[in-house]
Chain A
């Protein structure tokens, strides 16, 4: 079965999504300057980073991993001790 092709969202669409998501959670980014390279942070850089994070979801989604053999583990190194892969 071929993948259904969905048009990729534009930067502008993602910016609306990002601003809406922050606003939904009560975070106000309008207190930052819109664009000021000399400021510690501005909205332009923040949104660019947000778009990058959202687009990285595609990389993760495309990564094929056997769900039967690869469980999500937050703490891999201690996990191998907890599951007795380490002699006590």
Chain B
């Protein structure tokens, strides 16, 4: 079996650096496995997916996962039109309570698209899959307002690369998902601090946050008003809503997915992240989207995307096992959160991991030197990034930015020498994470994602159980973040797939809103 991509990255880097540092003789260079990544097509990868559940066991078509949708549409068991009708009916019945969508196409327009053969052909990877991209992703047929007065009424005349790719693959955009103001915080009425989108688990409680900034995508997917969606993450904005709503999401390595046609927050930290209900669903969406885009040079010159679908498919055997031998480390303090119920969930999760095949939990890791300085502002931040792109609306009227104004003015104050130092520190942090953290483990359980957002490393979130929301006593999902070295998505999917083969937290559906 070939190794996961991250092991080649880390091993090569580590060996090269150690050879250089010690000036050791170079005899007997390591023989690294050959790479066949990217040669197969997504379509071929999808042939080996697990069997879908029989339709008879499902209440309605909106309960189908992305993987099941793809399989059943290919077999002709369900049609894209039936899927569209089911999702639109649910949206029209419940979105007045959830407030997940900012804009939607008409049912007729969706049905017409659903009945048309996708550009990629009748075996297209996402045929019939109803999707909810965040409202900072350009759509040529729907307004793209970025949750903000700054973009109110903005109608792009082209699709973002990710939208064009999903549509070519037969994906159906059933709506644009509400989001925090210019990709910060939870979704609000534009220009105010009045929240809109509800957490799918507490639709009648505006106070319990869906988290942000990809609030609407998280709610739409959790509430079965979309099969999957796209969020964006500059500082936790995919995994935050994912964990708050019981989803499995992946923020991939920077550059894996094109950002062309996405309203920027930071040119250096923005990521597109698939948001879904299972690891396999997130992997399929990443598989479709992870390719070079000439319009975004940051996606060029990377190793070809490996077979994420296989990585996210449960590994056969007597008991659930991770596909590759994997050391799992724990960030200091992660097992001791303030909430004792969360602490117990985490301890239980670790015990379950230890019982899985191919896993070695190495315990609490030692963080790299100067961790605090390198991961905290200013060195661990991106304060100056958003200003340049927004000069025109800043001059027009600063009130358009609402409570997010400081973030967009900071670039006028942060000095160039600090900005350079931030970028030096970011690269230093990446090297230290590689050599001083991921030398202890292959996957890290961690509370926050900031260090991995700034360095562009992959992070996956998934549910590990449920807790009680203290104010209302309602049951809400609890999740975990798993981080890996650059190009370590396969490893993350493999751990998540093994976990989800062993548990059913990810299949639990929130109750419908009352009324």
Contact = CB atoms under 8 A, between A and B. Distances in A.
Interface of A: 18, 21-22, 25-29, 31-32, 40-41, 45-46, 49-50, 53-54, 56-57, 59-61, 63, 65, 67, 70-82, 85-88
B363 interface: no
Given A75-B255, A75-B268, A60 B418 contact: yes
A78 B427 contact: no
Contacts of A27: 394-395, 398, 409, 412
The 3 closest A-B pairs by CB, nearest first: A77-B456, A72-B423, A49-B406
Interface centre among B12, B409, B413 (most CB of A within 10 A): B413
Interface in B411-470: 412-415, 417-418, 420-430, 454-457
A4 B99 CA distance: 58
B301 A81 contact: yes
B8 A87 contact: yes
Contact of A86 (B373, B409, B486): B486
Interface in B191-223: 191-193
Q: Report whether over half of chain B's contact residues are helix, strand or loop; otherwise say mixed.
A: helix
A73 B427 contact: yes
A21 B412 CA distance: 7
B418 A56 contact: yes
A82 B13 CA distance: 13
A59 B379 contact: yes
A57 B303 contact: no
A86 B383 contact: no
Interface of B: 8-9, 12-13, 16, 32, 35, 191-193, 253-255, 267-268, 298, 301-304, 373, 377-379, 383, 391, 394-395, 397-399, 401-403, 405-406, 409-410, 412-415, 417-418, 420-430, 454-457, 486-487
Contacts of B423: 72-74
A63 B35 CA distance: 40
A32 B398 contact: yes
A19 B418 CA distance: 20
A18 B13 CA distance: 44
Contacts of A59: 378-379
B253 A78 contact: yes
25 contacts: A25-B395, A29-B398, A31-B399, A32-B405, A40-B403, A41-B402, A45-B406, A49-B410, A57-B414, A57-B417, A60-B417, A60-B418, A65-B425, A70-B424, A74-B268, A75-B255, A76-B427, A76-B454, A77-B254, A77-B255, A77-B486, A78-B254, A78-B301, A86-B13, A87-B303
B421 A87 contact: no
Contacts of B377: 56
B424 A65 contact: yes
Nearest to B426: A76
Contacts of B32: 87
A72 to B, nearest CB: 3
Contacts of B424: 65, 67, 70-73
Contacts of A61: 417-418, 421
Contact of A60 (B192, B302, B378): B378
B381 to A, nearest CB: 8
B302 A53 contact: no
Contacts of A25: 391, 394-395, 412
Contacts of A65: 421, 424-425, 428
B409 A81 contact: no
A19 to B, nearest CB: 11
A72 B420 contact: yes
Contacts of B414: 53, 56-57
Contacts of B301: 78, 81-82
Contacts of A85: 9, 12-13, 16
A87 B253 CA distance: 15
